[in-house]
Structure 1
C-alpha cells in the first residue's frame, strides 16, 4: 500500500524534485487521505494522470499570505470547502454555532471560515490576480445557481459570482477535473475549458443554445419565478437527456451550466477506489489526536454512488444524480482484504453502502440509454412498473465478505430503502440482513406518517412502512432474534402544520414509541424541500405549501413528537389548543398530555405508563386500547447529527 502523502510543505515539494506544483488544492477539511474524502479522491486522480498536486488544508484565511505558501502553481488552484457545506458544518438548524468540527484536527471548531469557498478564492485572487481557480465539492455544486441561503434568509448569487472562480465543477468531478487539467497542460486558455461536461462558468453574453432560466433579478423579486427556475434546474440534472442551462446573474454576466458529466462505468469507479490512499489522516494532526471524522469511515466500504430514491430534502439527486454507479464485487472484496491488513482492524467492517445501500444497479434499462424520467420518480408514489428490483448481487457480495479471514462481522449502516425491499418478491436479502449484518438494531427513515407531508418529502406511504415493520418483526421472530428498528423522524418539513404533527404524535402514542431526539428540517442549499421552504410553493405543481417558519411553531412540532417529556407538556398543550384538539389533553389513555396541575399541586409528568421499547420480533400493533399490553413498532430511537 502506498504510504506517502502528497506534499503539504514547500520542503516536501522540493524533496520530490518539483520546481513547482501543477495544482495547489485548498480545502476546508483537514487532510485525510481516504476515499471517503473528496479532496483525497481528486488529488489522487490527478496524481495518477501525471499531475503534481500540493495540499493546502485549513489555511489561515485572515490574509493572503497562507495561499502563497507554494508559490504560484503551474496550472491553477483547486478549492473546496470540504465534505459538507461550510455553513451546515458550522451551524445547527437553529442557527447556533456548533461546538465541534469532526473534519478538523481534534474536532476543534473555527478552523475554516463561513462560506469557505468564497473566502478562500478571494484570498487567492489577492495573491494571484489571474491564476485559474477551479472550485468543486458539495458547497460549490449546491450553490451553482442563484439559490436561497437559509443563514442570510435571502437569495444569493451563484457562488461563481461571489467567489470569482474561473470554473465550477459540479457533481463528483473525476472526469471533469482530469479533462480540465489536460486542457490547461496543453496550453489552452481557461476560456476553452467551457466546453467540458460537468462545469459551470460565467459569460458576458447569453447562450441561445441553452435553456434560459429566470434571471437572478427575477428570482429575488418573484418567488414563483424562483420555483420555475428551480424546477428547470431539477429536471435537467441528467447526464443523458439534460440540457445546458443559462441564468443571468447581473447586467452583463450570465451563468452557464454545461450538461452533467456522464456516469462512471464500473471499471472507472473501481479504478477510483484502487488508487493508493494511505487511508489515514496526515501525521501533522497526531498531536491533536487526529481527525474524528475518519473513525466513522476508516473500516467502511463505499460500494455505490447516486440514488433514484429522490427524497425532496436530500442533496444527492442534485450532486450525484439518479443513475446508480456501482463497483464490481471484485473491487469491493479487494478493498475488504486491504482493510483486514490495517493495524487497527478489529474484525469489523462498519458499512458496505452508499447514499442507499441496497441500490446496486440503475433503476431500469431505459436510464442508461434515455436518462432518468423527467416527470416521474422511480419509487414515488409507488414503484415504477419498469423498475428492476433485485438484491442478488448485494447478497453475493455480503456472503463473500463474511467468509474473508479476519472478518468477524460485516455491518450495513448506510440508509436502506424499505420500500425497495418490500418491492422485492424474494425475502433473502432481508433475512440475511437481519441474521448477519445488523447488531440488535436497524435504522430506517419513515420521516413522518401524514400522507400530505410524505408526498412533499417524496417518501412512501405509512402503509408501506407498516408492512415492512410486520415483515421485519416476523423474520426476527423466525430467527429467534430480538432486534429493534430505529426510525428517523423529521419535524417542520414543508407541508407539516400542527395538525400533521399531531397526527404523527398520535401514531407514536399508538405504537408506544418515544423518540429521544427529533430532526428539524434543515433548509440546505439546492434541494427541492428548500425551494418549498423559501417560496411556499411546490415547484412541481405550483400549488401553495404550508411552511412552519416561526421558532415557536417549530418548537411545538418538535415537542409533539416528544410529548411524554415533562419539559414539553406546556408547549404540547398550547399546540393542541391552537389546533382545536383539546380532546387530547386529559388523563384518558388516548390523551397526549395531562391538564395543567392546580397551583400548589405537584407536577404531573405523564398520563399513563407507556411501553417505549419493545423488541421487533414481537407482533407490532397499530392501535390497542390496553396500552400496557401494546407492542411497539419502533424501538428507542438514537440521535443523528443535525
Structure 2
C-alpha cells in the first residue's frame, strides 16, 4: 500500500518507505521501544527520537519488535552510530504484571491494549536483540526502566535482587533521567569518534582493567556492593539513603558500586532543562498522533490526546514513587506562551471538541513553582521539598497557574480546560485561591486526589503530607460546590500494604470509609518499585531511621488490607457488580 508523501514525512520513520521518502541512504540511530509509536512529547522514546532528528541525525523507530526474532530490527539496515533502547513509558514489569504478580488485563501502550507485544525486562531483551541483529553495534539504554534500575535493586515480580540493568543488558552505556541533552551528547561523541566517559546522567560498567585501576576520589561515594545487597537485607536501605542524598545535580557525587568483580560507575545527574529548552523540545513538529500504520486504537494515546504537558519534575519525593529517580526533584515549567501555542495547534486537530483534558505533570498544582533563591537550592541535599515540612526556599506560587488557566480559556476554540493530573493535598491547602479556582472552573465532574492513607504514622513513612489534609481538602471541595451549585465528585486513591502499615493503621482508613459511605473505584496495592525508599523498606523491614517495621509480603498476608478497601463499598449500589479494579500505584499515565 502506498502513502502520500506528506504522510510519509509526518512522523519519525517507522517504515522503510518513510526513509526512502526522506532521501536517506540509511539511518544513523535506531530507537527501539516497547510501546506503540505515538508521536507525542509525553511518550519518552518518541521525544528522544524527535530531539535526535531535529539535531540532524537520521533516526528511525522500531516499535514493539518481535522480541524473539533479531530480523525484526533489520528493516532499515545497520544503524551507523547505534541503537537507543527503552522499555517504553513505564517499567515493563509494572506494565505487564499486577501487584498480585498476575498478568494485567491490557497493555495500554499497545494497539487495542494487547498484551504480549512488550517482553518482561524489556531493556535487557531489546539490548540483547540489537546485539544479535547487529554484532558489535553500540547500544544505549534509556527511559524509565533504565532510570529505576540503574543500580542494584529488588525485583518484586522475581522476588530477587538484581544488579544494575546495564550489567544484565550488556549495553555500552545507560542514560538515566529524561535524557534529551544527555542523548545529544552521547550520539555527538559517537559521531565524532570520541569515548563515552564522564557524561553526566549516565552509568558505565567498567571493564576488568579499568575497574582494577579505578581510584575512589573525593568526588565519589561508594554504595554497598551488589554482593552485599544480596547477602545483607539491610544493605539496600544503606544504598537507597546514599543514592537519595546524591540526586541534586549541583552537588551530587559520582556513585560507585562493585558488581561481580567490576565497577558500576554512576555519573552525577544532569541539571534540569531551562524553560527555553523545555519549550523548544515540547514544540518540535510532533504530529501528536499514533503512527499512520496502526489501524487499532492505542489506549494510552486516547487518554492523553487532548492534554498538554506543562511541567516536569516532582518536589514531593514520596517513598512509593519512582518519579524523582527519573525526572528529578527540581521543577521546570513551560512558558505560558509555549503552552498557548501548543493548545492552538491542538485545537486544529479533527478530534478536538473544545476540551483540554489536562494540563499538568506529576501533579496538577505544581506549575510555576520555583526556589526563592536558586543558590540555596544548589546546596540542598533534601530528597523532598515538601516533606517533612515545606522548605522555606520553595515558592508555591499561585499566580502562574491561575494566569495560565485564564489565558487558555480566552482562546477561541477552547470551551473547557481541566486539571486531571491529580492534586497534591498539601499544596492545595497552601494555595487557597488557586484550589478554589480549580474546583470551581477546572474540574471535569470529578477530581483525583491521592491521600494514600489517613494514619499519621503511615503517612510519615510514605513521606506524604500529614493526617487531616484529606478531610480539610474535602471541606473546601464541598464548600465551593455548594456555593457555585455544582455536583462534583472526588476520586481518592489509597494504598494498601505499604511497609509499616499494620491492621490497626488500616482500620483508620476503614472507619473513615464506613463513616463516609464511600465507594472506592480503584485500589492501589503497594508495589516496591526499584530504587524507591518504599522498596528498601519492603526488603529490609526497617524504616529509614533503621527502626523495625511490619511488612506484609505474601499474597495471602497482603489480601487482608486490600479487602479493607475493596469490600462491600466497592460494589455499585445499582447493579450489584463490582467496581473494583486492581491497580498498582505505578500505573499512572505519566
TM-score, normalised with respect to structure 2: 0.92
Q: Are the aligned partners of 1:304 and 1:357 in contact in 2 as well (CA < 8 Å)?
A: no
CA distance in 2, matches of 1:550, 1:480: 47
- Match of 2:203, SS? strand
**Within 2, Cα distance between the matches of 1:244 and 1:480?**
56
- The answer to whether residue 230 in structure 2 is matched with residue 220 in structure 1 is yes
Alignment of 1:281-360 (within 5 A): 281-286=290-295, 289-360=296-367
2:216 matched to which residue of 1?
Answer: 208
Following superposition, the deviation at residue 140 of structure 1 comes to: 0.7
Deviations 1:281-318, CA, capped at 9 Å, x for gaps: 111112xx232211111110000000111111111111
Which residue of the other structure, out of 147, 156, 173, is the alignment partner of 1:150? 156
Cα drift, residue 438 of structure 1: 0.6
Equivalent residues in 2 for 1:81-480, closer than 5 Å: 81-188=87-194, 192-204=195-207, 205=211, 206-209=214-217, 210-251=220-261, 253-286=262-295, 289-367=296-374, 370-371=377-378, 373-375=380-382, 377-424=384-431, 427-480=432-485
How far did 1:481 drift?
2.1
Deviation at 1:641, TM superposition (A): 4.1
Separation (CA, whole Å) in 2 of partners of 1:66 and 1:561: 45
d(CA) in 1 for partners of 2:350, 2:222: 55
- Are residue 549 (structure 1) and residue 553 (structure 2) matched? yes
Instruction: Quote the RMSD (CA, aligned, Å).
Output: 2.1
Structure 2 contact 38–290 (Cα < 8 Å) conserved: yes
| 1:534 maps onto 2:539 in alignment | yes
Of stretches 503-512 and 100-109 in structure 1, the one that deviates more from structure 2 is 503-512
Contact map agreement 1:240 1:368 (CA 8 A) in 2? no
Over 3 Å counting, the alpha-carbon distance change for 1:108 and 1:17 in structure 2 is: same
- Distance in structure 2 (CA, Å) of the matches to 1:637 and 1:328: 40
SS at match of 1:34: coil
Structure of higher RCO (CA pairs closer than 8 Å, 6+ residues apart): 2
Alpha-carbon spacing, 1:562–1:71, altered in 2? closer, same or farther (3 Å): closer
Name stretches of at least 5 consecutive residues in structure 1 with no aligned partner: 568-608, 610-635
Shift of 1:14: 3.0
Aligned partner of 2:71 in structure 1 is: 65
Partner secondary structure for residue 506 of structure 2: helix
Q: Which has the larger radius of gyration?
A: 1
Contact 1:487 1:637 in 2 (8 A): no
Matched, 1:49 2:58: no
In the superposition, the TM-score normalised over structure 1's length comes to 0.85
- Using the TM superposition, give the Cα deviation of residue 499 of structure 1 relative to its aligned residue in structure 2, in angstroms: 1.1
Is the Cα–Cα contact under 8 Å of residues 456 and 466 in structure 2 kept in the other structure? yes
Q: Structure 2 stretches of 5 or more lacking a match?
A: 1-5, 585-590
Aligned-partner Cα distance in 2 for 1:250–1:70 = 36
| 1:474-521 Cα distance to aligned partner (Å, 9 max, x none) | 222222222222211111111111111122211222233232432111
Cα distance change on mapping 1:123 and 1:637 into 2, 3 Å: closer
Is the CA contact (8 Å cut-off) linking 2:517 and 2:569 kept in structure 1? no
Residue 31, structure 1, aligned to residue 37, structure 2? yes
